[in-house]
Amino acid sequence: MEKGLMTSGNITKQLVYFVIPLVLGNVLQQLYNAADSAIVGQFVSGDALAAVSSSGPLINLLISFFMGVSVGAGVVVARHFGAKRYDQMQQAIYSSYVFTLFGGVIMTFVGVLLSPSLLDLMGVPDEVMKESITYLEIYFYGVLGVMIYNMGSGILRALGDSKTPLYFLMIAALTNVVLDLVFVVVFKMGIAGAAWATLISQCLSAILVLILMFKGNDVYKLKLKEFKLYPSTFKEIIRFGLPSGIQNAFVSFSNLVVQSNINAFGSIAMAGAGAYTKIDGFAILPVQSFSLAITTYVGQNIGAEKYGRIREGFKRALVMSMGVSLIISLILTFGSPLILRVFSNDPEVISYGVKMSHMVAPAYAILAISHIAIGYLRAMNQSTLAMVVTFACWCGIRMAWILVLTPVFNQIEIVFLGWPISWIISSVIFAILVYHDFKRLPLHDLK
């Protein structure tokens, strides 16, 4: 069996071996912004922490569409890899990178030019506006590196390799922390130093993944002269990835609305909620990683027509994801006051973070249902259905909840409750959809 294929063998072992490097890699990727937040919060000011925190939703809004399309690229690569159609697989890889380069250039200009206006629309307070603009503009100078790395790591995951992206992120994350300390603590560059540290580290990870892709192996090896857009495979990528891209963009927009409502409670609330948001970013990594794993796993097995393995793999991924999430929920529900001190020692900042943890953390196991179902539906060529449900719940219901109830009660807890309410509703809907989809699949493997 080719290295990276998950179309035969022990399902649980394959999923665990695939997910562990993925979780660790995603943890390291989260460390980019978390390290910025922790260091500027401890060594610069609370306003600087608020500035970094307010930048996250806007960054996600501007690049989330292209990240969603990269998921579609991974599905196409995984399907061709599982079916051993290596020529089409290569075409999908080339098309993905051409799209990434084009999108990265666009995002650089859009991010730099529109950041001030978008931050103003978000209602970022005047006292943190200047630093927020500085951080965002420097970040978007290097956004092409972010997109190149994410596309490359998505392709490697589709080929069953979740370890190599982890190694690259280890190098980049360590570089980011060292540069954060040098630029912010030693050279006193403030929030600009944190942004430059992130930019340099992300570009380093992009360079490493490109070197690997050009070096290649027996299955793939990129050649500069063959870089072009292949219409047929690019249409596949768009078909699988466009709904995911739209979904990501709308969810990011809803989080932007949530952030705007948090901003209305002042810079202390921004800092506290922003600090817990960094913790939340780590907390949901297992469910996101299992979702990516099941997308690759199902994509490969669809290509190989192994339908029995698809059902069994989904069930095992769901149980493992919910189990890990439950443990994380308990740790954060009771341990958040201590963990939040990594970002700030201000009691008011910590109190807002604790409030958010008590509203959000208990629902992580429920969120696992939605994420595993989304990963499954993407691989089954039902990205549009996943997009509609996610948009309706995570965008529509969440925004309606916050916009209607927050003015009435004027309590930040109402804003925080928007997340678990939308997760519960989406998980019920996704559970029903996957159950009915299982019934239409052939009962046994066809190969």
Q: What is the pLDDT of residue 445?
A: 61
The H or E element containing residue 216 is none
Between 61 and 203, where is the model more confident?
A: 203
Q: Which pLDDT score, from 0 to 100, does residue 325 have?
A: 94
Q: Are 57 and 249 in contact (CB under 8 A)?
A: no
Contacts of 142 (CB under 8 A, 6+ apart): 198, 199, 200, 202, 203
The pLDDT of residue 289 is: 87
The listed range with the strongest mean pLDDT (90-94, 126-130, 315-319, 349-353) is 315-319
The yes-or-no verdict on residue 326 having pLDDT over 80 is yes
pLDDT band at 387 (very low <50, low <70, confident <90, very high): confident
pLDDT score of 110 more than 60: yes
Q: Give the whole-angstrom CA distance, residue 46 versus residue 40.
A: 8
**Per-residue pLDDT tens over the stretch 178-208:** 998 999 889 988 888 988 998 999 899 899 9
3-state helix vs strand vs coil in the chain, percent to 5? 85, 0, 15
State the average pLDDT over residues 242-263.
Answer: 78
Residues 6+ apart with CB under 8 A from 46: 267, 268, 271, 344, 346, 349
Per-residue pLDDT of 367-376, as tens digits, reads 999 999 999 9
